[in-house]
Structure 1
Amino acid sequence: MEKENLQAFCHSLKGVTHDYQPEWQADRYHIGGKMFAMMGGDANRKPVITLKCDPQRAEELREMHEGIIPGYYMNKTHWNSIYLDADIPSSFVEELIEHSYQLVFRKLTKKSQQDILQQDK
């Protein structure tokens, strides 16, 4: 998985904003001011992407893929971290990014959702 490709995919989603958290050395991606993805590293600086996930699905994914672990520095129930060097197809990681985006989007107010949907991007 190429970090740059995943970053480009995150940016391609409607209404996404990005910032960099220097203390964590992590790129964060938001929708409606709420984070849905973070790219950084674990304690050994091994690159990971951390994504929100439905709790039941999060457990299933961890059991199916050794490269998916409970969210690094996040709520372990609702977030998974995926090692970028894991043997997981980029297309599947993009599906998980989209899932994370949708989970966060659905929690936004109806007004925020409408504002995002009306953007040109």
Structure 2
Amino acid sequence: MEKEKLQAFCLSLNGATHDYQPEWQADRYHIGGKMFAMMGGDVNRKPVITLKCDPHRAEELREMHEGIIPGYYMNKTHWNSIYLDADIPSSFVEELIEHSYQLVFHKLTKKSQHDILQNDAKGND
């Protein structure tokens, strides 16, 4: 998986923003001020992307894919980390990014959701 491609995908989602957390040496992606993805490294500096996930699905994914582990430095129930060098297709990782984004988006207030959708509609005019 190419880090740059995944970063571009994260930023292509409606209302997504990016910042860099120097202490963690990690790129973070937010929607409505809430993080949905983080790219950095594990304790050995091995590149990972960490994504929010439905708890039941998170367990299933960890059992099915060797390259998916409980969220590194995150709540292990609600977050998974995926090694970027794992044998997992980029298209599947993009689906998991979208899943994470949707989980976070739907937890935002109705007003925040509306504002994000309105701003996206204006951008598509």
TM-score bracket, shorter-length normalisation: over 0.9
* In 2, Cα distance between equivalents of 1:26 and 1:58: 22
Structure 1 unmatched runs, 5+ = none
Deviations 1:65-102 (A, max 9, x none): 00000000000000000000000000000000000000
* In 1, Cα distance between equivalents of 2:92 and 2:49: 13
Q: Offset of 1:116 from its aligned partner?
A: 0.2
Q: Offset of 1:119 from its aligned partner?
A: 1.2
Q: TM-score, normalised by structure 2?
A: 0.96
Structure 2 unmatched runs, 5+ = none
Q: Which residue of 2 aligns with 1:117?
A: 117
* In 1, Cα distance between equivalents of 2:106 and 2:44: 34
Considering only aligned residues, what root-mean-square deviation do their CA atoms show, in Å? Answer: 1.0
SS at match of 2:119: coil
Q: Offset of 1:27 from its aligned partner?
A: 0.1
Q: Which residue of 2 aligns with 1:46?
A: 46
Q: Which residue of 1 aligns with 2:59?
A: 59
Q: TM-score, normalised by structure 1?
A: 0.99
* In 2, Cα distance between equivalents of 1:92 and 1:100: 12
